[in-house]
Amino acid sequence: MPLEAYLAVAAVLFVIGLTMVASRRNLVYVLMGLELILNAANLNLVAFNRFHPESHVDGQMTALFVIILAAAEAAIALAIVLNAYSHFETIRPDDIDTMKD
Amino acid sequence: MATALFYLFGAGALFSAANVVFRRQAVPAAIWLVTCFFFLAGEFLLLGFPFLAAIQIMVYVGAIMVLFLFVIMLLDLQAHQPIQSQFRHSIGGALALVLVALAFVAASGGQALEAENQPAAPEISALVEALFTRYLLPFEVTSVVLVAAIVGALTLGRSPGGSDHPAKS
Amino acid sequence: MPELTYFEHLSYILPEVAVTLGLCLVLCWEMFSRRQDRTAEARRARGMETGILSLGFLAIAGVLLLIRFSWNPATVFGMVEVDRFGTMFKLFITSAVAVVIGFDLMDRRAQDDGRSETYFLLLTAVLGSYFLVSSYNFLLIYLGLETLGLASYALSGMHKRGRASAEAALKYVVYGALASGIMLFGASLLYGLSGTLQVDEMAGHIVTAVREGRSVQVALPTLLILVGFGFKLSFFPFHWWAPDVYEGVPTPIATFLAVGSKGVALAAFLRVLAMAFAGIMVFDDPSVGILNEPTPFLANLGGTLAIISAATMLVGNLAALRQTNLKRLLAYSSIAHAGYIMMGVAVLKPSGFEAATLYTFIYYFMNLGAFGMVLYFANQTGSEDIGSLKGMGYSHPWAGVATIVFLASLTGLPPTAGFAGKWILMMEAWDGGLGWLALWTGLMSVVSLFFYFRIAKMLFLRQADQEIAVVRTPILSGMLVVLAVFSVVFLYFDPLLDLAKTGINDLFY
């Protein structure tokens, strides 16, 4: 398969992730969108690693670290969402917006 | 064979991702996300990275998505969130999506490389060796990050009264 | 460079080791010390003990960093650069967090629960920053950014009873994670372009790509990476999270986000920019003369950064005009200052980077002071509203005068360091062909005079509505006075400029 095919999949995933975050329908969706963005970056890294054999294991290794960091980030983010839910009784980002100029 | 599998996994990943966007309920959306991660693991496998594929399934599907489902169930989303997806917005979004994706490919590709011409991906032993030599320091830092994540999540989840018991929501 | 042994490698990262040991001990301290004793005094004492413990380890790390300052630059563990630029910013974050911990110990409105966790997370953020400012490797930069980020997200949500804190943490984590995800995607594209994650090895590929007219392959990832740094530095159009977050979180944490986190993000940004684009930057090398031909890509990059800088100043200063909450006002003020710093970056020359670095150090003193002022008066009145300051200058002369110094420095009035820093930045912009930006900065400083003056007016030109009992906080007043003295003295302090010069030299030559 040409490299572009993998890049196209990654790019579309990235944009889907972005739209999920931008649509702001509810916080769990937003966080899922973030996971998609990280996965898109991972697919890019891994595909490029395959096509740049001189870089040894760099891309694969980075993807590995990104997966670990994604897990840590998801844990913190979900804890914050739960915390916000216990204060606001909602998880629509537009309703959790009390601070204004 | 590889080509057919690539199209299968790629299309599957994109179809599942699109489904995540358009599902009205949270649990099915999460399940579609799991499917998407499975297909991506397939792509990693195709590219010759079996270890990464295994980690993807174990960590993403086994840990992160379980966490998501757990939170969705704690929040009891169905009762609260009627989700409307607007058709007009989706058309605009889809158009923007295709354009941006094309731009990314045009910008980042440019080298029409074929996988068949490339030597095989490095073995797992090479990965392990790199992890404990060149990548030793990031590896150690990761442990601190994970502890910080645990402490952070525990502190945030504790009930406001200051007791040591987790919040009962 | 001779091959280093494992222990020599280790000796280079001793400050990091000290911080790691410190954060482990802070975490364990609470576990082993009188956990069952839940009286208010016992909890306060535990908070104090862990605070002092963290300060001790930060001091050790600071001393080790000072010792390391004179060592020759080296690359250890394959990807950590130990050079004076990084060490400089490590000292910056170490001392900033020490002051933040001091603020937290002085905060009378802070809750006694979760203090040790706060200090643990602050130390984690320091560790992340250490790696963020000292690597050319995108993996380590991303790891450092995420460590700093995760700790900051958790820190902003720590105030358990506050709705505002919950909202602030939420906004911060969603947009912070988004920005770092976008940045990672950009980094992955650069990896594709060059086949390496080391920015220093990428540089050659970047130069070739620009020379061969494939600028778009560089421009797109650069833009995505700019989003990631832009969020942390809170420049336009990624600034709007800052006011909400600063307002919602406790003042010490807001201080950390405004000063510490911004400073190290700037350091990483400068390092990446300098290394990636040094091959196409147009500047005088002392030994060779003018190095490169101007390229349209560099002109566009500089232009984009200049426009971002101008817009950031405008947004920050205009929005600050109508704020009544002090922390919100300072948030917009720190956005405006990010704009001033970006002016030095937009010049895309070593001398511009020096000016930006110097201004960051001055920003450190005056903003620590300004947030300390908010904390001091909130301790007295229990409010962060600008109206609560009425007539407080007379009952609190030391803090009042120190506040005037910080405000003058933030505005950029002589004879303060803020004036000197801004002047150098404007001269750099003028020499770098950005004369309009220098003039614009002058105009914006005049605008900023209005809202900074409003605080001063409240302190000294209004009568207090009712008498408020004076609470003695000698340590906090002392800290404010010391910061105020530094905010003036640095006008006459050439070593600071020399320091910035040495640091930037490490990046370019």
Q: Which residues of A touch C139 (CB under 8 A)?
A: 58, 61-62, 65
> Rounded distance, CA C264 to CA C232, Å?
9
Residue in C144, C158, C192 closest to B108 by CB: C192
Which residue type occupies B119? P
Is C140 at the interface with chain B, CB within 8 A?
yes
Provide the sign of the torsion angle of the four alpha carbons B153, B157, B160, B165, taken in this order: negative
Map out the domains of chain C as residue ranges.
281-295+308-509
**Nearest to residue A65, comparing CAs of B125, B70, C137, C169?**
C137
Q: How confident is the model at residue C36 (pLDDT cuts 50, 70, 90)?
A: low
Q: What is the pLDDT of residue C291?
A: 66
pLDDT for B11 beyond 70: yes
> What are the structural domains, with CATH classification, of chain A?
3-95 (1.10.287.3510)
Max Cα distance, chain A (Å): 53
Q: What is the pLDDT of residue A19?
A: 85
Tens-digit pLDDT profile for residues C5-20: 888 888 888 999 999 9
Chain A nearest-CA distance from C5, in A, is: 24
Choosing among B75, B89, B100, B140, which should be mutated to test the A contact, i.e. which has the most A CBs within 10 A? B75
Q: What is the pLDDT of residue C88?
A: 92
pLDDT for C165 beyond 50: yes
In contact, B45 and B8? CB cutoff 8 Å: no
Q: What is the pLDDT of residue C92?
A: 94
Token pair of B23 as six digits: 């599902």
- Contact assignment for A80 to C170 by CB distance below 8 Å: yes
Provide the sign of the torsion angle of the four alpha carbons C340, C342, C347, C353, taken in this order: positive
> Rounded distance, CA C418 to CA C359, Å?
8
Chains B–C, number of C-beta pairs less than 8 Å apart? 93
Q: How confident is the model at residue C195 (pLDDT cuts 50, 70, 90)?
A: confident
Question: Distance between terminal CA atoms of chain A?
Answer: 53
> Rounded distance, CA C106 to CA C250, Å?
12
Q: What is the pLDDT of residue B166?
A: 43
Tens-digit pLDDT profile for residues C309-363: 999 999 999 999 999 999 999 999 999 999 999 999 999 988 899 999 999 999 9
Choosing among C35, C120, C218, which should be mutated to test the B contact, i.e. which has the most B CBs within 10 A? C120
- Contact assignment for B162 to C111 by CB distance below 8 Å: yes
**Nearest to residue C247, comparing CAs of C150, C339, C319?**
C319
Q: What is the pLDDT of residue B159?
A: 62
Q: Which residues pair with B144 in a beta bridge?
A: none
DSSP C289: E
Q: Which residues of C touch B155 (CB under 8 A)?
A: 114, 117, 154, 158
Average pLDDT (C157-177) is: 87
C-alpha triplet A84, A87, A90: angle, nearest 5°: 65
Q: How confident is the model at residue A3 (pLDDT cuts 50, 70, 90)?
A: confident
Is A25 at the interface with chain B, CB within 8 A?
yes
- Contact assignment for A52 to C192 by CB distance below 8 Å: yes
C493/B4: higher pLDDT: B4
Q: What is the pLDDT of residue B12?
A: 93
Tens-digit pLDDT profile for residues C285-295: 766 666 677 78
In contact, B6 and A5? CB cutoff 8 Å: yes
B35/B165: higher pLDDT: B35
In contact, C497 and C419? CB cutoff 8 Å: no
Burial class (CB in 10 A: 0-12, 13-18, 19+), C424: buried
- Contact assignment for A32 to B29 by CB distance below 8 Å: yes
Which residue type occupies C313? M
Residue in B60, B81, B104 closest to A67 by CB: B60
**Nearest to residue C378, comparing CAs of C455, C471, C315?**
C471
> Rounded distance, CA C200 to CA C197, Å?
9
pLDDT for C38 beyond 80: no
Tens-digit pLDDT profile for residues C121-142: 999 999 999 999 999 999 999 9
**Nearest to residue C86, comparing CAs of C253, C342, C263, C277?**
C263
Q: What is the pLDDT of residue B2?
A: 78
Q: Indicate whether this complex's ipTM tops 0.90.
A: yes
SS3 labels along C317-378: HHHHHCCCEHHHHHHHHHHHHHHHHHHHHHCCCHHHHHHHHHHHHHHHHHHHHHHHHHHHHH
Residue in A44, A62, A76 closest to C189 by CB: A44
Token pair of C479 as six digits: 């800290």
Tens-digit pLDDT profile for residues C398-442: 999 999 999 999 998 888 888 989 999 999 999 988 999 999 999
**Nearest to residue B149, comparing CAs of A83, C179, A39, A79?**
A79
**Which residues 6+ apart lie within 8 Å of B7 measured at CB?**
none
Average pLDDT (B129-139) is: 89
Q: What's the Cα-to-Cα distance from C458 to each of C16, C465, C470, rounded to whole Å?
A: 44, 12, 17
Q: Are strands C74-76 and C284-285 parallel, antiparallel or unpaired?
A: unpaired
- Contact assignment for A75 to B67 by CB distance below 8 Å: yes
- Contact assignment for B80 to A5 by CB distance below 8 Å: no
Candidate from B50-59, B78-87, C331-340 with smallest mean pLDDT: B78-87
Residue in C117, C154, C220 closest to B107 by CB: C220
Q: What is the pLDDT of residue B169?
A: 38
Q: How confident is the model at residue C503 (pLDDT cuts 50, 70, 90)?
A: confident
Q: Which residues pair with C70 in a beta bridge?
A: none
Tens-digit pLDDT profile for residues C106-115: 888 777 677 8
Q: Which residues of A touch C181 (CB under 8 A)?
A: 17, 34, 37-38, 41
pLDDT over 90 percentage in chain C: 53
Is C154 at the interface with chain A, CB within 8 A?
yes
pLDDT for B87 beyond 60: no
Tens-digit pLDDT profile for residues A29-83: 899 999 999 999 999 999 988 888 777 888 999 999 999 999 999 999 999 999 9
> Rounded distance, CA C245 to CA C234, Å?
12
Which residue type occupies A63? A
> Rounded distance, CA B52 to CA C456, Å?
59
In contact, B65 and B138? CB cutoff 8 Å: no
pLDDT for B164 beyond 60: no
> Rounded distance, CA C502 to CA C147, Å?
28
Q: How confident is the model at residue C508 (pLDDT cuts 50, 70, 90)?
A: confident
In contact, C468 and C380? CB cutoff 8 Å: yes
Is C78 at the interface with chain B, CB within 8 A?
yes
pLDDT for C472 beyond 90: no
C507/C230: higher pLDDT: C230
- Contact assignment for A78 to B2 by CB distance below 8 Å: no
The residue written with tokens 């998505």 in the block is B65
Find the helix or strand (DSSP H, E) in which C496 lies: helix C494-508
Provide the sign of the torsion angle of the four alpha carbons A14, A16, A17, A23, taken in this order: positive
Tens-digit pLDDT profile for residues A81-99: 999 988 888 888 888 888 7
> Rounded distance, CA C150 to CA C132, Å?
14
Question: Distance between terminal CA atoms of chain C?
Answer: 16
C171, C176, C178, C182 alpha-carbon torsion, rounded to 10°: 160
Average pLDDT (C251-261) is: 94
Is C462 at the interface with chain B, CB within 8 A?
no
Q: What is the pLDDT of residue B94?
A: 67
**Which residues 6+ apart lie within 8 Å of C381 measured at CB?**
C388, C389, C392, C468
Find the helix or strand (DSSP H, E) in which C82 lies: strand C80-82
Q: Which residues of A touch B156 (CB under 8 A)?
A: 76, 79-80, 82-83
- Contact assignment for C166 to A88 by CB distance below 8 Å: yes
- Contact assignment for C192 to B136 by CB distance below 8 Å: no
DSSP string, B26-94: HHHHHHHHHHHHHHHHHHHHHTT-HHHHHHIIIIIIIIIHHHHHHHHHHHTHHHH------HHHHHHHH
Q: How confident is the model at residue B25 (pLDDT cuts 50, 70, 90)?
A: confident
> Rounded distance, CA B44 to CA B48, Å?
6
Q: Which residues pair with C381 in a beta bridge?
A: none
In contact, B113 and A6? CB cutoff 8 Å: no
Is C4 at the interface with chain B, CB within 8 A?
no
Q: What is the pLDDT of residue C499?
A: 84
At residue C261, the 3 state secondary structure works out as helix
At residue C465, the 3 state secondary structure works out as coil
At residue B165, the 3 state secondary structure works out as coil
C390/B106: higher pLDDT: C390
In contact, C186 and B107? CB cutoff 8 Å: no
pLDDT for B162 beyond 50: no
Average pLDDT (C357-385) is: 91
Token pair of C274 as six digits: 């300098």
The residue written with tokens 């900023």 in the block is C448
Q: What is the pLDDT of residue B21?
A: 83
> Rounded distance, CA B158 to CA B164, Å?
7
